[in-house]
C-alpha cells in the first residue's frame, strides 16, 4: 500500500471511531473534507452529559438538568448542570498549575503548586449543594434576561480538597480582612485578556467555614474540565457563582470584593421587596448570600401514569442554604392540605437531604404532586412565585409534577 493510501485509511478509521459508525463511502471522501457529524461539537459527548440534559446556550456553554435526572443522592457528572460566563480554558496543565494567595489583607503573598496544596494540607470530602442563583428564572414575569433556567441548575456532588481556611491561614490573614475574591483562567467572551468573565467571592466568615474547599476531586475523580479542573473553590449553600472554577488566585480583600459580577445588579436582589417590573437603583440591591429553602421531586418524572388503587412512592431532595431542612410535605390537592414525607438528615452540613413518601390517590384522574420544604428556622417554600426581582434570582417556589391515575 502506498503511504498516501495508508494515511487515508488511518484517518478514515479514526474518523469512523469519532462518529461511532463506519463511513460507508469513506474512500470517496475528499482529502481535507471534514464530515458534517464532526463539524458541530456535540456537547453531550464533549462534556459526557446525559442525552436529556438541556442546552440553553452554546457560547458560553450553559446546560441544565431536568428534575428526574437529579434522582441520585450524589449527582454524577452526566447530570450536573454547567454554567459558564466565559470560555472554558484550553490546554490545562495540572502539573504547572499554581494558586496564589494575595490581596490587601494577606500577611505574605504566597504561591502553591497543586502538589504542595495536596501534600501540605489535610484533605476533606464533603457533599455540597451548589445551586445557580438564577435557577428558576424562566418563571418570572415580567421576564428577566439571562439563561432561562427551569429547575435543573442545582447539583450535589461529593468534593474532595483542602480547606480554604487552612490555606488562607498558612499565608496569613490580616485583622482588617473582610472578603475573599477569586480569579480564574477562563476567557472573557470578547477574548480581551484584560477582562475576567467572572470574579466573585464571599465574606471571610464563609471563606473560613470548615466546608469551604479548594477542591481537586469531584465524585472521587479528577474534576471534569467543564466543572473547574484542576482546582475549584466550592462554597456550598451559597449561589454557585461563589464557587469559582479553574481558580489560580484568591485575594484576601480589606473591602467587599469588587471583581466582575460582584457589583451593580449581578447576583443581587432588591434589599426590600419591590413590585413586579419596578426599576431598582444599584444602591438598593443587596448581595445574595445563603440560598433559600427549596426541594425537587426527582421520582417519578412529571407525566407518570399510575394504576388505580396503587400507592406511588415519590422521592427527591431538599436543601436550605446554610440551614438544614427541618420538614418536607407534599400535597395532591393544589396545596389545600399537606402530608408529611420522611426526610433524611444531610450526609454533612450543606449537603442536600433526601425525602420519600408513599402517596395514595382517592380515584382515577389528573393530579399534581407538590412538595414543600421548611428550613430549621421555619421558613417554607412559597407555593407559587416568590418576590419578583429584576435579574430573576432566588425562585424557590414549590416544585410540582403531574400524575395521571387510570
Ligand atoms: N471561573 C468561573 N467560575 C465559575 C463560573 C464561571 O463562569 N467561571 N460560573 C459560576 C456560576 S454563575 C455557577 S452557577 C457555577 C456553576 O458550576 P458548574 O458549571 O460546575 O455547575 O460556577 C461558578 N463558577
Ligand atoms: Mo450561576
The answer as to whether 300 is a domain residue is: yes
Give the DSSP per-residue string, 260-323.
TTTSTTTTEEESS---TT----GGGEEE--SPPPEEEEEES-TTEEE-TT--EEEEEEEEBTTB
- Name the closest ligand to CA 391: 2
pLDDT score recorded for residue 36:
81
pLDDT higher than 90, residue 37: no
Determine contact, residues 49/70, Cβ cutoff 8 Å: no
The answer as to whether 48 is a domain residue is: no
Could you tell me the CA-to-CA distances from 29 to 3, 24, 319 in Å, in that order? Answer: 17, 10, 54
Q: What angle do CA 121, 126, 127 make, to 5 degrees?
A: 155
Pairwise pLDDT comparison (59 vs 403), residue with the higher score: 403
Determine contact, residues 182/233, Cβ cutoff 8 Å: yes
The answer as to whether 119 is a domain residue is: yes
pLDDT score recorded for residue 384:
86
Tell me how far apart the alpha carbons of residues 278 and 269 are, in angstroms, rounded to a whole number.
Answer: 12
Which residue puts its alpha carbon closest to atom 18 of ligand 1? 82
Residues 145 and 246 in one domain: yes
Determine the average pLDDT of the residues in 330-351: 98
pTM here is: 0.91
Residues 327 and 274 in one domain: no
- Ligand 2: centre distance to CA 339 (Å): 33
Determine the average pLDDT of the residues in 375-380: 98
Q: How confident is the model at residue 5 (pLDDT cuts 50, 70, 90)?
A: low
Residues 171 and 26 in one domain: no
pLDDT higher than 90, residue 3: no
The answer as to whether 371 is a domain residue is: yes
Write the CATH number for 309.
2.60.40.650
Peptide bond preceding 300 in cis form (omega within 30 of 0): yes
Write the CATH number for 122.
3.90.420.10
pLDDT tens-place string over residues 171-192: 999 999 999 999 999 999 999 9
Could you tell me the CA-to-CA distances from 281 to 269, 277, 297, 343, 365 in Å, in that order? Answer: 11, 13, 37, 41, 49
Residues 373 and 256 in one domain: no
Partners of 325 in the beta sheet? 375
Region of residue 311 (phi > 0: left; psi between -120 and 50: alpha; otherwise: beta): beta
pLDDT score recorded for residue 8:
62
pLDDT tens-place string over residues 57-84: 988 999 999 999 999 999 999 999 999 9
Determine the average pLDDT of the residues in 220-247: 98
- Ligand 1: centre distance to CA 331 (Å): 34
Tell me how far apart the alpha carbons of residues 74 and 128 are, in angstroms, rounded to a whole number.
Answer: 9
Which residue puts its alpha carbon closest to atom 19 of ligand 1? 82
Residue 247 CA: which ligand 1 atom is closest?
A: 1
For ligand 1, is residue 245 a contact (CB within 6 Å)? Answer: yes
Domain boundary among the residues 248, 264, 287 is at: 287
pLDDT score recorded for residue 10:
59
The answer as to whether 390 is a domain residue is: yes
- Ligand 2: centre distance to CA 124 (Å): 25
pLDDT higher than 60, residue 301: yes
Q: Structurally, how many domains does the chain consist of?
A: 3
pLDDT higher than 90, residue 224: yes
Residues 91 and 149 in one domain: yes
Of residues 117, 110, 234, 218, the one with CA closest to residue 182: 234
Q: How confident is the model at residue 2 (pLDDT cuts 50, 70, 90)?
A: low
Tell me how far apart the alpha carbons of residues 371 and 13 are, in angstroms, rounded to a whole number.
Answer: 51
Residues 302 and 260 in one domain: no
pLDDT score recorded for residue 33:
78
pLDDT score recorded for residue 31:
75
Residues 261 and 314 in one domain: no
Residues 217 and 124 in one domain: yes
User: Can you give the residue range of the structural domain that contains 1?
Assistant: 1-39
Domain boundary among the residues 227, 254, 287 is at: 287
Residues 102 and 248 in one domain: yes
Domain boundary among the residues 287, 308, 326 is at: 287
pLDDT tens-place string over residues 188-207: 999 999 999 999 999 999 99
Q: What three-state secondary structure class fits 133?
A: coil
Q: How confident is the model at residue 114 (pLDDT cuts 50, 70, 90)?
A: very high
For ligand 1, is residue 331 a contact (CB within 6 Å)? Answer: no
Determine contact, residues 233/165, Cβ cutoff 8 Å: no
Residues 216 and 343 in one domain: no
What does the block give as the cell for 13?
478509521
The answer as to whether 45 is a domain residue is: no
Of the listed ranges 63-67, 91-95, 214-218, 383-387, the least confidently predicted one is 383-387
- Ligand 1: centre distance to CA 130 (Å): 10
What does the block give as the cell for 85?
460566563
The answer as to whether 112 is a domain residue is: yes
- Ligand 2: centre distance to CA 265 (Å): 14
Using the structure block, give the residue that is written with the C-alpha cell 466543572: 227
Residues 279 and 346 in one domain: no
Residues 260 and 301 in one domain: no
The answer as to whether 56 is a domain residue is: no
* Cβ atoms within 10 Å, residue 295: 28
pLDDT higher than 80, residue 324: yes
Amino acid at each position: 500500500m502506498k503511504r498516501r493510501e495508508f494515511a487515508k485509511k488511518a484517518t478514515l478509521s479514526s474518523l469512523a471511531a469519532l462518529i461511532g459508525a463506519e463511513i460507508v463511502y469513506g474512500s470517496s471522501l475528499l482529502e481535507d473534507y471534514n464530515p458534517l457529524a464532526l463539524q458541530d461539537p456535540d456537547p453531550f459527548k464533549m462534556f459526557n452529559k446525559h442525552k436529556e440534559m438541556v442546552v440553553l446556550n452554546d457560547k458560553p456553554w450553559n446546560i441544565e438538568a431536568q428534575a428526574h435526572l437529579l434522582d441520585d443522592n450524589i449527582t454524577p457528572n452526566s447530570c450536573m448542570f454547567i454554567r459558564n460566563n466565559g470560555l472554558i480554558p484550553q490546554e490545562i496543565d495540572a502539573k504547572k498549575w499554581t494558586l496564589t494567595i494575595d490581596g490587601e489583607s494577606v500577611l505574605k503573598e504566597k504561591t502553591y503548586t497543586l502538589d504542595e496544596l495536596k501534600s501540605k494540607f489535610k484533605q476533606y470530602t464533603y457533599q455540597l449543594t451548589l445551586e445557580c442563583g438564577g435557577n428558576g428564572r424562566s418563571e418570572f414575569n415580567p421576564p428577566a434576561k439571562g439563561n432561562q433556567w427551569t429547575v435543573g441548575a442545582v447539583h450535589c456532588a461529593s468534593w474532595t480538597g483542602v480547606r480554604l481556611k487552612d490555606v488562607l491561614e498558612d499565608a496569613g490573614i490580616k485583622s482588617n480582612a473582610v472578603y475573599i475574591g477569586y480569579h480564574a483562567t477562563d476567557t472573557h467572551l470578547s477574548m480581551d485578556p484584560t477582562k475576567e468573565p467572572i470574579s466573585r467571592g464571599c465574606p471571610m466568615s464563609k471563606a473560613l467555614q470548615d466546608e469551604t474547599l479548594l477542591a481537586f476531586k469531584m465524585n472521587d475523580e479528577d474534576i471534569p474540565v467543564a466543572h473547574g479542573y484542576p482546582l475549584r473553590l466550592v462554597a456550598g449553600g451559597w449561589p454557585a457563582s461563589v464557587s469559582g472554577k479553574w481558580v489560580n488566585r484568591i485575594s484576601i480583600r480589606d473591602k467587599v470584593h469588587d471583581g466582575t459580577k460582584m457589583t451593580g445588579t449581578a447576583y443581587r436582589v432588591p434589599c426590600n421587596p419591590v413590585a413586579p417590573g419596578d426599576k431598582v437603583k444599584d444602591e438598593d440591591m443587596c448581595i445574595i448570600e445563603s440560598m433559600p429553602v427549596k426541594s425537587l421531586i426527582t421520582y417519578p418524572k412529571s407525566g407518570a401514569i399510575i394504576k388505580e388503587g396503587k400507592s406511588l412512592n415519590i422521592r427527591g431532595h431538599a436543601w436550605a442554604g446554610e440551614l438544614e431542612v427541618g420538614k418536607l410535605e407534599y400535597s395532591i390537592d393544589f396545596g389545600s392540605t399537606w402530608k408529611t414525607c420522611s426526610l433524611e438528615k444531610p450526609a454533612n452540613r450543606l449537603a442536600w437531604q433526601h425525602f420519600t413518601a408513599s402517596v395514595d390517590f382517592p380515584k382515577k384522574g389528573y393530579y399534581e404532586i407538590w412538595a414543600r420544604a421548611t428550613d430549621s428556622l421555619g421558613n417554607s417554600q412559597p407555593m407559587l412565585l416568590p418576590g419578583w426581582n429584576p435579574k430573576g434570582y432566588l425562585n424557590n417556589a414549590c416544585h410540582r409534577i403531574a400524575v395521571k391515575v387510570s
